[in-house]
Structure 1
Amino acid sequence: MHNFTHGDKTVSFTVLSGEVVSSEKISETRVTSTGGVQVNGNDGDVTPVRISSVSIINHEIWVKTPDGIEHDVKLRGMDIPLRTGQEISLISALKKDGSPLHTILQNHTASKRWVLRDASALNTELELSPFNWKTVLIVLGLCIAGLATAGLGFLAAAGYFFYAWYRGAQRKKLLISDLNAYIETLDNRVASREQAPSPVQAESSVQAEISFQAESPAPTQSPAETESPALNSDSVRRALSRNL
């Protein structure tokens, strides 16, 4: 049970979630006729006869909740495509006698959503903004006082009437806005709760470590300098003997 509170007004909402086990639609046809009435009492003058027909679809759904209980849901004048096995959620507002006013139908299997009643329709059917008879009594009293005040009471009555009408319209507008926001929040909450979480598979990435060894080239060694042979007396004599 979910409760919406605005001032001294409280509206209870219920959420029915489960699997559709049966969906049946029955068409109801209403035929009406007009005309065929005599004109001026003359039998020869008769208004033309007009026949019109209206077809109304009555949709009956059986919903099985997770606890195994099957619930009967009747939707009048609504053609909603449903089939057996689909998962749905039905948000409904409760009247004072406990009868439901179906508001939103979600088909989780088909990812579709239907608004059956908006906040303005609920405000009218639940009588959340009734006619204020107190305003009528005050205006009537001012009008009576106007008879003794040379018309000043009539001006006061007109001013008070428009003031009360404006205040009432603003309160009604605010109530419908808050009710619409509450229904949207409840709708999103039901949709997120019924949405199956997608499995997440965490894969560990294997990182291969590759070490690069930079080989520095061996330092080039300068060739050793050839040492000049030492000059001594023996080498000088051998050189002179070759020349001689």
Structure 2
Amino acid sequence: MHTFTHADKSVVFTVLSGEVVGSEKLSETRVTTTGGVHVNGKDGDLTPVRVSSVSIINHEFWVKTPDGVEHDVKLRGVDIPLRTGQHISLISALKKDGSALHTILLNHTASKRWILRDASALNTELELTPFNWKTVLIVSGLCVAGIATAGLGLLAAGGYLCYALYQGSQRKKLLVSDLNAYIEKLDALVASHVQAPSPVQVESPVQVELSFQLESPAPAQTSVEAQSPALNSDSVRRALSRNL
């Protein structure tokens, strides 16, 4: 697990890496009807009826981790091409109840990447910067005081409200920026860890060099060495015959 911390807020991320062992997609169609309402209370006048439909993709796939455990993953409203045998990594943020908010999916086999939720979406779903009710209470108190101070409290309430909204937007902007940078860093860490070359791949060029060295010609040297003793013995006999 990986933990993002910003001031008093923290988000826990998990990484699921493994092989896709099954993938299935189901299409869900939602039909919406509008109109057909009576106009001016008359039975004969109706507004036009409009029918619209929306198709939603429900994607379910299984990921087998190196320890042999198969994990079920469900995506809604996202159409991602996955094939059995591909190696993927899924980065998810955890809610307080332990449920996962899938953030980034990496397909290492196909060298593709999908952003399922960005930092702004996670900020909203995790309620990292909730509405500040303290500001409402202070503004309400200043408004009440403004009635007794001939409107001075209303001016103070308006000024404080603008200041609080500005400070809140700056805090939210900073948190989203830091969260986005953390997600990008975690994404790069997962990608580099999975795509690192194995020792077998590093050693393969050495094996090629060894096989090339074994092809050096040796028979030619052996034939030269075999002829040299015969030539020497003939020359010795001829020299002795001449002397005799």
Range of TM-score over shorter length? 0.7 to 0.9
Per the alignment, residue 107 of structure 1 pairs with 107
Per the alignment, residue 26 of structure 2 pairs with 26
Structure 2 residue runs of 5 or longer lacking an equivalent are 214-244
- 1:74-93 aligned at under 5 Å gives the runs 74-93=74-93
1:169 is aligned to 2:163: no
Q: Which amino acid aligns with 1:71?
A: H
- Provide the rounded CA distance (Å) in 2 between the counterparts of 1:129 and 1:138: 19
- Provide the rounded CA distance (Å) in 1 between the counterparts of 2:146 and 2:41: 51
Q: Which amino acid aligns with 1:27?
A: S
Give the superposition deviation at 1:183: 0.2
- 1:84-233 aligned at under 5 Å gives the runs 84-197=84-197, 199-200=201-202, 201-202=205-206
- Provide the rounded CA distance (Å) in 2 between the counterparts of 1:100 and 1:127: 15
SS of the equivalent of 2:128 reads coil
Give the superposition deviation at 1:70: 0.5
More divergent stretch after superposition (133-142 vs 120-129): 133-142
Q: Which amino acid aligns with 1:101?
A: L
Give the superposition deviation at 1:38: 2.1
SS of the equivalent of 1:45 reads coil
Q: Which amino acid aligns with 2:26?
A: I
Structure 1 residue runs of 5 or longer lacking an equivalent are 207-244
SS of the equivalent of 1:122 reads helix
SS of the equivalent of 1:43 reads coil
Per the alignment, residue 8 of structure 1 pairs with 8
SS of the equivalent of 2:68 reads coil
Q: TM-score, normalised by structure 2?
A: 0.81
- Provide the rounded CA distance (Å) in 1 between the counterparts of 2:124 and 2:63: 28
- Provide the rounded CA distance (Å) in 1 between the counterparts of 2:156 and 2:54: 50
Q: Which amino acid aligns with 2:3?
A: N
Count of aligned pairs between the two proteins: 205
Q: TM-score, normalised by structure 1?
A: 0.81
Task: Look at both structures and tell me which one has the larger radius of gyration over its CA atoms.
Answer: 1
| Runs of 4+ more than 6 Å apart | none
Q: Which amino acid aligns with 1:138?
A: I
- Provide the rounded CA distance (Å) in 2 between the counterparts of 1:129 and 1:50: 39
CA RMSD of the aligned region, Å?
Answer: 1.5
Give the superposition deviation at 1:141: 1.2
Per the alignment, residue 45 of structure 1 pairs with 45
Give the superposition deviation at 1:35: 1.6
- Provide the rounded CA distance (Å) in 2 between the counterparts of 1:18 and 1:159: 55
- Provide the rounded CA distance (Å) in 2 between the counterparts of 1:133 and 1:178: 25
Question: Deviation digits for residues 204-226 of structure 1, max 9, x if unmatched?
Answer: 9x9xxxxxxxxxxxxxxxxxxxx
Q: Which amino acid aligns with 2:56?
A: I
Give the superposition deviation at 1:44: 2.0
Q: Which amino acid aligns with 2:50?
A: R
Question: Deviation digits for residues 91-129 of structure 1, max 9, x if unmatched?
Answer: 000111111000000000000000000000000000001
Per the alignment, residue 241 of structure 1 pairs with none
Per the alignment, residue 67 of structure 2 pairs with 67
Q: Percent identity?
A: 80
- Provide the rounded CA distance (Å) in 2 between the counterparts of 1:135 and 1:41: 46
Q: Which amino acid aligns with 1:45?
A: D
- Provide the rounded CA distance (Å) in 2 between the counterparts of 1:155 and 1:48: 49
Give the superposition deviation at 1:134: 0.5
Higher helix share: 2
